[in-house]
Chain A
Amino acid sequence: MATVRLSFSPEPAHVRTVRLVGVAVARRAGVPEDLLDEVRLAVGEACSRAVALHQRHGLRDLVAVEMTDTSDFVVRVIDRAPADGPAVPTGPLMSPDGLSEEAVAFGMGLALLTGLVDNLEVRRGTDGVGTEVRMSWQQR
């Protein structure tokens, strides 16, 4: 088992760095090549979501990312934003008409996460602050 941890300031520019590291660690962990695009997208979506939440609440706290290579490849993205509204997508996708661009992006992000990740959990942070997005892929 190996673990790679990193934290980053909630800036959009850093999300790509995390995506790149995520794919590198996934490849090393033995995640099949044809899944790496999905890992890249899902890691990016989880981090974009965290950055957007921190920015919305004016938080400068770091976003934490932890990648673990156990029997599955597990990525956890942990934000520090207060809980407001549903953290998990509920029901079918709404029509994008009538929603702001930001709201559309947020909804699409969650749709992509649920569509791309074998096993997705979104839960409250352990100390009651923030949320943790936990994603895992089988190393087939």
Chain B
Amino acid sequence: MWLLAAGLVLLLAGGFGAAIGSATVARHRAQAAADLGALAGAMRAVYGSGVACAQARRIVTANGAEQSACRLDGLDVTVTARVRVAVGTASATSRAGSVPVAGGNSQLCEDLGGGRVAVADARWLDPERGSEPGRYRMDLSLSTRTVADHTVLQVGGEVDVYTAPRLRERLVELVDGGARKVVVDLGRVEFLDSTGLGVLVGAHKRLRAAGGSLALVCAREPLLKIFRITALDQVFPLYDSVDTATAAGVDGQAT
């Protein structure tokens, strides 16, 4: 709730500081209210729609909007917020659900007894359903940089059956864009499953066919264990840092 409360204060300050004269401002305000309301509701989703939607309404109202709809589907909460202005009404819908926050699983689960488990204090917005993308997503992060003549793709978060397609797309883009010495830095990866391994093997093959090479940076024991179990430690050159990967000359592995 701290993050949400801090966001709330900022939004309120911004809201009162600026004159709400345009439809654009009203729309942004409705969207922000819907986003925060949905998030607040999702944190209470396990207590049922009454509690979840009441919480959502409090946050929507505090953000200067009116909650016109609230629905609970499973653990996902969909909130519609409305802001009235002189020129009409702006409306926005946002949907939020519960997923693990990077690195904090132990704080997330609360046993309610009777086999019910609360997955609380987890926040995200679903970009496919129209909310502002990327704001609360913590599932997968990708960033590319160049180190010497290597292309380094830093991967963070969770690589699983849901997020692996995005990793695949990025790797294909890099190879199509001409990258040949590619280092995938898994240092910030919290979770990697077989789908992610399949994507890495695919990139390895694609690069080799193009005369390039793929090296991995991976120093954490749980991840290394996955590579050992699947015998992929014999397929990929594994390094403990980006520096050693680029210094070792990935090109040495290519031929």
Contacts and interface: CB of A to CB of B under 8 A. Distances in A.
- State the majority secondary structure of interface residues on B: mixed
B115 A2 contact: yes
B105 interface: yes
Interface stretch (A24-32, A74-82, A122-130, A132-140): A24-32
- State the majority secondary structure of interface residues on A: helix
A19 B117 CA distance: 13
Nearest to A99: B201
Contacts of B130: none
Interface in A92-140: 93, 96-97, 101-102, 104-109, 111-112, 115-116
B230 interface: yes
What is the interface residue range for chain B against chain A? 35 or more
B232 interface: yes
Contacts of B99: 16-17, 20
A115 B229 contact: yes
Interface in B215-255: 222, 226, 229-232, 235
A105 B197 contact: yes
Contacts of B229: 111-112, 115-116
Given A12-B161, A20-B105, A108 B197 contact: yes
Interface of A: 2-4, 12-13, 15-17, 19-21, 23-25, 27-28, 37, 40-41, 44-45, 48, 51-52, 93, 96-97, 101-102, 104-109, 111-112, 115-116
